[in-house]
Structure 1
Amino acid sequence: MTAPAARTGVRARTRAAILDAAAEVLTATPAASLGQIATAAEVGRTTLHRYFPERIDLLRALARHVTDLSSQAIVRAEPMGGTPSAALRRVVEGQFALGPILLFVYTEPSLAGDSALWDELERGADPVDAVLVRMREATGSALPLPWIRRTFWALLYAGWEAAKEDGTPRHELVDAIMTTLTRGVLPEPEPA
């Protein structure tokens, strides 16, 4: 008989394999079937349904999983270490790497109307806010934090789209995001 801890470990690994496969498959083919995801996860469709009875259950779990990945990337970026600008760049690079799956989660129509899910997911924005506040204080900006946060995510979204549609290299897009965040698109000239 298998010990409960071993079963839990196997269940956790199987669940993670399904979510990782879903992230990979759905970023390439947003309308992919649960069967395609099960195949990519190397589990049977019945097993997938044991974990996620309906597609929406899988999508909600994937959104939470992606939020966890985003939070882990922020922690790895050490947002409170080094200069505010260097910390912001590390956060941008970490989030940019998650682009395809974040783009899928944020644009998936079946998730868009789930306000309870989005309320839950937005609680993970605090570490991003911390680095944005550091940068705002370092630059003396008077812009409100909600505007800065929206700008941050909108620029990442624009970068992900540019990478996907135009094939612009990642390093150029990270540079463009940082330039836009720190200098603006159309800064007014210094008064004479």
Structure 2
Amino acid sequence: MSVSVVAETGARGRTRRAIVEAAISVITDNPAATLSDIAEVAGVGRSTLHRHFPERTDLLRAVALQVHAASNAAIEAADPTCGPVLAALRRVVEGHLDLGPIFVYIYTEPTIQADPELAAHLDTGDEVIAEILARASADKPAYPPGWARRVFWSLLLAGYDAIKQDGTPRHQVVDAIMHSLTKGTIT
């Protein structure tokens, strides 16, 4: 199964996008939501949803690809190779917090992670962040390979949780993530 996304146009494409967007919205609030719940929010019948996504795993795959594309777009918009390292990382953190808790779901959902090809695809796109983290921590103790990258994404996951579960203001979460990065793995 290929991880490529076919861009559909016209009514079929709009319907498909509406279903994926509805799934993102619904699953963010309730990961156990039914396909009927998603169809209702999308404004389509369950049969229409099944024409586009015959199985729940097909819909989850489309959601994962959409969230991954949004993550890559957030990285690109943050322009992490421009300016000082810490300012660039802050822009990436801020952009990713805008993605919200669906990000956590996609990267932890067992159904998605059970698809080796999709999981491998989802593990791409953040290479520039890994490079910046490596550059920023070049004069620090030797960490295991990929450690700074894992810490970066773990802190984002903790940030989503703090916002959703505790109601922590976004600016405090950004500051906490940056402080943890700069006082922990980077400086």
Q: Same fold (TM over 0.5)?
A: yes
Q: Kindly indicate whether the alpha-carbon contact (under 8 Å) linking 2:23 and 2:63 is maintained by their aligned counterparts in 1.
A: yes
CA–CA separation in structure 1 for the residues paired with 2:171 and 2:115 = 34
State the superposition RMSD in angstroms. Answer: 1.9
1:176 is aligned to 2:176: yes
Could you list the runs of 5+ residues in structure 2 that have no partner in the other structure? Answer: 1-7
- Per the TM alignment, residue 144 of structure 1 is displaced from its structure 2 partner at its CA by 4.9
Q: Kindly indicate whether the alpha-carbon contact (under 8 Å) linking 1:105 and 1:111 is maintained by their aligned counterparts in 2.
A: yes
Q: Deviations over 1:33-52 (max 9, x none)?
A: 11111111112222211111
CA–CA separation in structure 2 for the residues paired with 1:172 and 1:144 = 29
For the pair shown, the structure with the greater C-alpha radius of gyration is 1
Alignment coverage as a number of residue pairs: 178
Q: Deviations over 1:3-55 (max 9, x none)?
A: xxxx7333322222111110000011111111111111112222211111000
Matches within 5 A, 1:18-167: 18-137=19-138, 140-141=139-140, 142-144=142-144, 146-167=146-167
Question: What TM-score do you get using the length of structure 2 for normalisation?
Answer: 0.87
Structure 1 or 2: more helix by fraction: 1
Q: Structure 1 residues 181 and 116 mapped into 2: Cα distance closer, same or farther (>3 Å)?
A: same
CA–CA separation in structure 2 for the residues paired with 1:162 and 1:85 = 22
Question: What TM-score do you get using the length of structure 1 for normalisation?
Answer: 0.85
Helix, strand or coil at the partner of 1:123: coil
Q: Kindly indicate whether the alpha-carbon contact (under 8 Å) linking 2:19 and 2:49 is maintained by their aligned counterparts in 1.
A: yes
- Per the TM alignment, residue 62 of structure 1 is displaced from its structure 2 partner at its CA by 0.7
CA–CA separation in structure 1 for the residues paired with 2:10 and 2:90 = 36
Q: Percent identity?
A: 52
Q: Kindly indicate whether the alpha-carbon contact (under 8 Å) linking 1:129 and 1:145 is maintained by their aligned counterparts in 2.
A: no
- Per the TM alignment, residue 136 of structure 1 is displaced from its structure 2 partner at its CA by 2.9
One-letter amino acid matched to 1:100: P
Q: Structure 1 residues 49 and 150 mapped into 2: Cα distance closer, same or farther (>3 Å)?
A: same
CA–CA separation in structure 2 for the residues paired with 1:66 and 1:146 = 22
Match of 1:190 in 2: none
Q: Kindly indicate whether the alpha-carbon contact (under 8 Å) linking 1:132 and 1:145 is maintained by their aligned counterparts in 2.
A: no
One-letter amino acid matched to 1:116: E
One-letter amino acid matched to 1:124: G
1:13 is aligned to 2:14: yes
